[in-house]
Chain A
Amino acid sequence: MKIELGEWPVTGNAVDSTGVELAIEARGLVKRFDGFTAVDGVDISVPKGAIYGILGPNGAGKTTTLRMLLGIIDPDAGYRRVLGHERPTDVARRIGYLPEERGLYPAMKAYEAIGFLAALRGVPLKEGRRRGRELLEEHGLGYAADRQIRQMSKGMAQTVQLLGTLVHKPDLVVFDEPFSGLDALNQGKLERMIRALAAGGTTVIFSTHVIAHAERLCDQVAIIAGGKVPFAGPVDLARDRLRPQVRLETRAQDGPWRAALPADVRHEGAFWHFTLPETGVEPLLRALIEGDAGILSLSIERAGLHDAFVAIAGEAAAKALEDGEGEER
């Protein structure tokens, strides 16, 4: 059944064209601030249980998009449905959110802070505090449960807030730049935690300006630049936007085999780099062998997400993304 935008039922789970149940469905989201269009017609479909990345440079509209999906701000135009509800605030108890600007009440003890965040999401305070102690124990911070947040290191406080985001066992977890400010060790921990959440059936959506995180973790990504989403879908699909790259090492430097190489070929050191011709690998191999190239090695590599990002979002967005990654490092 085809359902037109604006005519959807208020509640009920959305499904995509392949019948996959969606945790988040957004169509044509627009947000303007003082005449500036921060988000311009964003479409996103996040399957249930997926790890979904919103990838883009700083200022691309990631945070504004997430805030609209969470109901913190309302879109000026467009439609969203989160966990089957048009108003995300109706399902706030089933959502966990870690904003980029993290913070807790400094005078609260660690287990109290987790209990408070749980209470905000509908868990009785006593139960929230009990779970807080449990979670701190599980994550090696049991010894600091009674320590005030102001007495903790930044990393410890961030872990406490992360646990507070998950304490009410949400169905959907939204992280805004979760790796920002974490050291490599904690980034690794967080990646494992995200994978564990998804393995347990929780949908995870996070924004990032670091391609490596999205590439390692995500099933699907939305590439966002200048408030628009030129691509949203599986990571493999993004990579497949580019033809595979061939890396060839030959004994012969010249000969009839050179005619088999495409126009975009470049020679770097001992290697020839070029895009795999549309005709495929077999005709290429045959031409190289028959042309006496003397193949020493040949590898075919799928395009990385970075190359896909450049191809999809453009050089300027890629440059901004790289600048952001540089800042992060």
Chain B
Amino acid sequence: MSGFAEKLRAALVIARRDFVAVVFSKTFIFFLIGPAFPLIVGGLAGNIGAKVQQNVERPTIGLAMSAEDNKRMMAAREELQGRMAGGLPDMFELATPVAGKPFDAKAALADGSREVTAVVGGTLAKPTLTATADRARQWVGLVSNLAARARADTPTAYPDVQVEEVNTSIAKVRTGQVYTAQGAQVLLFLLTMLLAGMVLSNLVEEKGNKIIEVLAAAIPMDAMFMGKLFAMLAVSLVGIAVWGTAIGTIVLMGAKSMPALSTPAVGWPLFLILGFLYFAMAYLLMGSLFLSIGGMAATVREVQTLSMPVSMFQLMVFFFSSYALTMPGSWVEWLSVIFPVSSPYAMLARAAQEPAVWPHIVALLWQAFWVVVIVRAGAQLFRRTVMKSGPARGKTKRGLFRRKAY
């Protein structure tokens, strides 16, 4: 049997064992339902936040002009209401100050019983707006507009606008594709983060079971690494199938509030295929890095210590790719395409925005090349740094944090 075939065979033996061990374990169900928790928590937090926001502040403008001016201002508001997207703030008569005794708008805003967001005083010719800085910026134009209409003797004649609707526009498509790209990157990141961590804990299991030396003697180390990566990839496919089915069921059951994504530039079928391939590459790249680093750790504690900076690195890669997404064609985007670990994210974003297919073939080959390089380097490092001596005796430290061993 050739060297490659032998490695593949050995990798499959490892992959099969790991796959069965993970999928048929009792804890696998938690892995499957795991992603539901952040979604539920996120949804609840979002709803509660919106409710709180709604209850805390209902934007209201209090009018403190003369009785006539107040009346005209409210009429002008009624006239404009319905013609502005997003609606207008509520408006009511707060006071009708008598001549020579100006109304104290600041005191009214500070008075908790009144619940006004801003106060408009003065006259129609010279209105004053008292509010916080952001509200003042938001409403100064509106107040000016309303005052101008209120001063007019006759109602404003609004012409009917003939509307001609089109399905889309280039600008909308481009914006939508950016959202699709962002959504795909987020999904890719979440899946990769979830699974790469599992690879790490899987290697710790080998160390805990003390079977690592048997494996190292029987099969090439890189075959063991590849086997572990393949196994977790297969596990992830089970997960994706389950999650995909769940999401599909929810959509079919009529969850109309789910956001509709724009069609990616390469079309949905190819985008989904590329999405899977880039997920596989992102996972293999990150997983092989995790394995290489985890391989050098001697204990579970060391692995836990290491996993934090590695997760941070993963997060930085994601942010970098997201940032590059906003700068198409720039050197930043090219860097994110070339840098192996961010390349899958950047290329998936490209698939959403650019129709060309050939760059994806090149990118996938480039990423696969780096998977092999990292796996081989990790295996070499593992052999050099971990298999140093017989079993630990006494308090001797080994692995990455070992001081001296023989």
A interface, CB within 8 angstroms of B: 33-34, 36, 38, 58-59, 61-64, 67, 70-74, 89, 92, 95, 97, 99-107, 116-117, 119-122, 125, 161, 176-177
Given contacts A72-B213, A121-B218, A122-B9, 6 further A-B contacts (CB under 8 A): A33-B389, A36-B404, A99-B217, A105-B17, A107-B21, A117-B218
Tell me the nearest residue of chain B to A165, going by C-beta.
Answer: B214
Which bracket fits the contact residues of B?
A: 20 to 34
A69 to B316, CA, bound (A): 43
B residues near A120, Cβ cutoff 8 Å = 10, 13, 214-215, 218-219
Given A97-B218, A99-B217, A120-B13, are A176 and B404 neighbors across the interface (CB < 8 Å)? Answer: no
Report yes or no: B211 in contact with A103, Cβ–Cβ below 8 A: yes
Tell me the nearest residue of chain B to A67, going by C-beta.
Answer: B387
> Top 6 nearest A-B pairs by Cβ distance?
A103-B210, A63-B390, A120-B218, A99-B213, A97-B217, A101-B391
B residues near A119, Cβ cutoff 8 Å = 13
Report yes or no: A33 in contact with B388, Cβ–Cβ below 8 A: yes
Is B142 an interface residue when CB atoms closer than 8 A count as contact?
no
Report yes or no: B389 in contact with A104, Cβ–Cβ below 8 A: no
Given A34-B405, A59-B406, are A101 and B10 neighbors across the interface (CB < 8 Å)? Answer: no
Is B220 an interface residue when CB atoms closer than 8 A count as contact?
yes
Report yes or no: A117 in contact with B214, Cβ–Cβ below 8 A: yes
B214 is contacted by which of A58, A61, A74, A99 (Cβ under 8 Å)?
Answer: A99
Q: Which of A74, A92, A103, A125 has the most CB of B within 10 A?
A: A103
Interface hits, B367-406 → A, CB 8 Å:
383-384, 387-391, 393, 404-406
B residues near A70, Cβ cutoff 8 Å = 217
A100 is contacted by which of B16, B17, B387, B391 (Cβ under 8 Å)?
Answer: B391
Interface hits, B347-384 → A, CB 8 Å:
383-384
B390 is contacted by which of A34, A58, A74 (Cβ under 8 Å)?
Answer: A58
Report yes or no: A63 in contact with B389, Cβ–Cβ below 8 A: yes
A161 to B220, CA, bound (A): 20
A residues near B55, Cβ cutoff 8 Å = none
Tell me the nearest residue of chain A to B391, going by C-beta.
Answer: A101
Given A36-B406, A120-B218, are A73 and B387 neighbors across the interface (CB < 8 Å)? Answer: yes
Tell me the nearest residue of chain A to B388, going by C-beta.
Answer: A33
9 A-B pairs with C-beta separation under 8 A: A38-B388, A59-B406, A72-B213, A92-B219, A99-B214, A99-B217, A103-B214, A120-B214, A177-B390
Q: How far is the CB of A218 from chain B (nearest CB, A)?
A: 20
Tell me the nearest residue of chain B to A116, going by C-beta.
Answer: B17
A58 is contacted by which of B10, B388, B393 (Cβ under 8 Å)?
Answer: B393
A residues near B211, Cβ cutoff 8 Å = 103-105
Is B306 an interface residue when CB atoms closer than 8 A count as contact?
no
Given A72-B387, A107-B25, are A102 and B210 neighbors across the interface (CB < 8 Å)? Answer: yes
B residues near A177, Cβ cutoff 8 Å = 390
Q: How far is the CB of A157 from chain B (nearest CB, A)?
A: 11
Report yes or no: A72 in contact with B216, Cβ–Cβ below 8 A: yes
| B2-23 Cβ-contact flags toward A at 8 Å (1 or 0) | 0000000110010011000100
A102 to B391, CA, bound (A): 10
A residues near B210, Cβ cutoff 8 Å = 99, 101-103
A71 to B214, CA, bound (A): 12
| B168-209 Cβ-contact flags toward A at 8 Å (1 or 0) | 000000000000000000000000000000000000000001
Tell me the nearest residue of chain A to B208, going by C-beta.
Answer: A103
A13 to B16, CA, bound (A): 36
Q: How far is the CB of B99 from chain A (nearest CB, A)?
A: 90
Given A62-B390, A72-B383, are A34 and B217 neighbors across the interface (CB < 8 Å)? Answer: no
Q: How far is the CB of A90 from chain B (nearest CB, A)?
A: 8
Report yes or no: B220 in contact with A89, Cβ–Cβ below 8 A: yes
Tell me the nearest residue of chain B to A168, going by C-beta.
Answer: B218
A36 to B25, CA, bound (A): 43
Report yes or no: B209 in contact with A100, Cβ–Cβ below 8 A: no
Q: How far is the CB of B7 from chain A (nearest CB, A)?
A: 10
A67 to B390, CA, bound (A): 10
Given A64-B406, A117-B214, A120-B13, are A104 and B383 neighbors across the interface (CB < 8 Å)? Answer: no
A residues near B213, Cβ cutoff 8 Å = 72, 97, 99, 101
A residues near B220, Cβ cutoff 8 Å = 89
B residues near A89, Cβ cutoff 8 Å = 220
B residues near A161, Cβ cutoff 8 Å = 214
Q: How far is the CB of B271 from chain A (nearest CB, A)?
A: 38
A125 to B10, CA, bound (A): 12
